[in-house]
Amino acid sequence: MTRAISLHDVSKSYTRGTRVVDGLSLDIAPGEFLVLLGPSGCGKSTVLRMIAGLEEIDEGELLLDGERANDWQPAARDIAMVFQNFALYPSMTSRDNIGFPLRIEDRGADPGPRVTATARMLGVEDLLDRYPSQLSGGERQRIAMGRAIARHASAFLMDEPLSNLDAKLRNRLRAEIAQLTRELGVTTVYVTHDQAEAMSLGDRVAVLRGGVLQQVGTPREVYALPRNVFVAAFIGVPRINLLQGVVRAPLDGAMTIGLGKQALRLPEPLSLDHRLLRVQQGREVIVGLRSEVVRIADRDSARPGEALITGLVEHVEFQGHEILVHFNTGSRPAVVPELEAPRPAARPPRRRRREGPGMLDRLRGRAGAALRAGPVVVLEDLEDPEDPPGSPASDTAPSGVRLPGDLVVRTTPDVRLHHGMQVPLLVDLDRVFVFDQDGDRICPSPDRLPDLDA
C-alpha cells in the first residue's frame, strides 16, 4: 500500500524566530516520486524530517492519506527513511542491518526471507555477512536502502542518499533508485541539491529557496517555464545566461531590448507576449538566454524570429560531445547571490534605545523567511572606475575581477573558434525569458503558458 502525503501551510522555526520552512503547501500523490530541490540551507531536509516525525511542525498540517498526522509518532506513520550518512549499525552485519527494523516490528517473526528477497533485488546477496567497515560507499548505501525497502513501508523519504559518493557511482545508483521505486510503486520524497538528480529522477520537482516554495512541476516544466530568476538559474547546465536589459518601445520604431552595447530587435508583427512588454518601457529587466537558444551563424542564415548580435570569443571549453563558448557581447550580467550563499547577508544593525530584544526585533525575526523570499536578482553597476566607459572590461567585470565573458553558447565540437575571434550570433526570440527587477517572469506571460508538447 502506498500513501498520499499533503502539507498545508507548514512552517518551522528554530532560534530567534527565523523560519526555516515558511508556509509550505504541497500535495504528493500515491506512488509519486517527488524531488525537493534547492541550495544548502533552504529547508529541504527539515521538510523531510517533519514528514517522518523527527521534527515537530510549528504551524500548519501534515496529512497522511487525508488524516491529520502532526502528532503521530514516527513508528505510526509507516514511513521508511534513507539518510545521507547511511546510518548503519557498525557492530551488525549487513544481514542484521537490513533485518533490524523487521525484528522491531514483529519480534516473533523470522526476517530472513524478506532480507534475502531484498538483497536479491539490490544485488547484495554476497555482502550480507560483511560489516559496514568492510563495505565501499556504494555498498553501504545499497544496504541502507535495503533496510528501508525490506519494511514494505507506505512511503520512502531519501535525504541526499548519494551525496557522499563519487560521480560515477552516483550515476549508476541514481538509475537503480529510479528503477526500484518504479517497480515498487511506493510514494517517494527525495531531497537533493543536485539538479541532475532532480531532473532525471522526479515525476515532479519542487524548488525551495529560503524555506519558501518557488515552483513545483514536471522537470520539463520547471526547465522550460521557470517562474522566476532563481528557478531559471538553479536549473540547467550550463547555468542560464542572465543579462541586464532595458525595454525600448518607441511609438514610431521597432521595439528592442537593449543589452549594453547591443540590442535584441523584436520581430514584427509583435507576438502577444512581446506586446505586453511595452508596459516595461524604459525599465530595467533581466533577460534569460539558455545556451541552446543562441547559435553561431551569420545574418543570412537567420530564421523567422531570430535576432542578430555579435560576440567576442573569450574562452572555449571542449566537452567532447559539445563545446561551450564564452562570449563577450558588451552586456552586463545580472547576479543571483543566493545560488552562492543561500542566506543573504544580514542587514546593518539599527541603533537600539534599550537592552534586550524589542518588539521591532521580534517582528523582524519573524519576517526573516519573507525577506529571503523577496527579490533574488542584483542589478549592479559593474563598471570598474579604472576602465574607460564603454571598454569591454567595464561592461563585463566588477571591480578588480575579469569575468570569462557574459554569454555562454553551446555548439557542436566541429566548430573551430579561438580567443579574440568576433562571431555572429543568432538569438531565438521565442525562447527568451524576460524577468522584472524582482526576478518574476513576465515573458512568456505567466498567464499564457506555451504548449510544452509543441
- Total domain count, the chain: 2
In a domain, 323, yes or no: yes
Do 142 and 246 reside in the same domain of the chain? Answer: no
**Residue 182 bridge partners (DSSP):** none
Do 222 and 238 reside in the same domain of the chain? Answer: no
Classified as helix, coil or strand, 323 is strand
Per-residue pLDDT, 170:
81
Q: Is the pLDDT of residue 168 over 80?
A: no
CATH of residue 113's domain is: 3.40.50.300
Integer Cα distance of 141 and 167 in angstroms = 14
Tell me the three cell numbers of residue 397: 567585470
Q: Is the pLDDT of residue 369 over 80?
A: no
How far is residue 10 CA from its own chain's centroid? 20
Do 340 and 222 reside in the same domain of the chain? Answer: no
Do 155 and 244 reside in the same domain of the chain? Answer: no
Contact 36, 7 (CB under 8 A): no
Q: Is the pLDDT of residue 164 over 80?
A: no
Q: How confident is the model at residue 312 (pLDDT cuts 50, 70, 90)?
A: very high
CATH of residue 242's domain is: 2.40.50.140
Query: How many CA atoms lie within 13 Å of 352's alpha carbon, on the beta-carbon side?
Result: 10
Q: How confident is the model at residue 343 (pLDDT cuts 50, 70, 90)?
A: very low
Q: Is the pLDDT of residue 54 over 60?
A: yes
Per-residue pLDDT, 232:
95
In a domain, 374, yes or no: no
Domain boundary residue, one of 208, 226, 244: 226
Give me the sheet containing 262-265, strands edge to edge. 262-265, 256-259, 241-248, 284-289, 433-435, 441-443
Domain boundary residue, one of 166, 196, 226: 226
Per-residue pLDDT, 174:
85
Mean pLDDT of the 304-312 span: 94
In a domain, 454, yes or no: no
Integer Cα distance of 53 and 72 in angstroms = 7
Do 166 and 266 reside in the same domain of the chain? Answer: no
The amino acid present at 388, given as its one-letter code, is P
- In total, the chain counts a number of residues equal to 454
In a domain, 278, yes or no: yes
How far is residue 6 CA from its own chain's centroid? 21
Q: Is 110 left (phi over 0), alpha (psi -120 to 50) or beta?
A: beta
Per-residue pLDDT, 371:
35
Q: Which residue has the cell 530567534?
A: 16
pTM above 0.75?
yes
The parent domain of residue 330 ranges over: 234-345+393-443
Per-residue pLDDT, 452:
53
Give 336's DSSP letter: -
Domain boundary residue, one of 204, 226, 248: 226
Contact 249, 216 (CB under 8 A): no
Do 210 and 337 reside in the same domain of the chain? Answer: no
In a domain, 452, yes or no: no
Integer Cα distance of 206 and 189 in angstroms = 10
Do 45 and 149 reside in the same domain of the chain? Answer: yes
Classified as helix, coil or strand, 217 is strand
Per-residue pLDDT, 378:
54
Q: Is the pLDDT of residue 175 over 90?
A: no
How is the chain split among helix, strand and coil, in percent rounded to 5? 30, 30, 45
Do 61 and 208 reside in the same domain of the chain? Answer: yes
In this structure, the number of other CB atoms found within 10 A of the CB of residue 6 comes to: 18
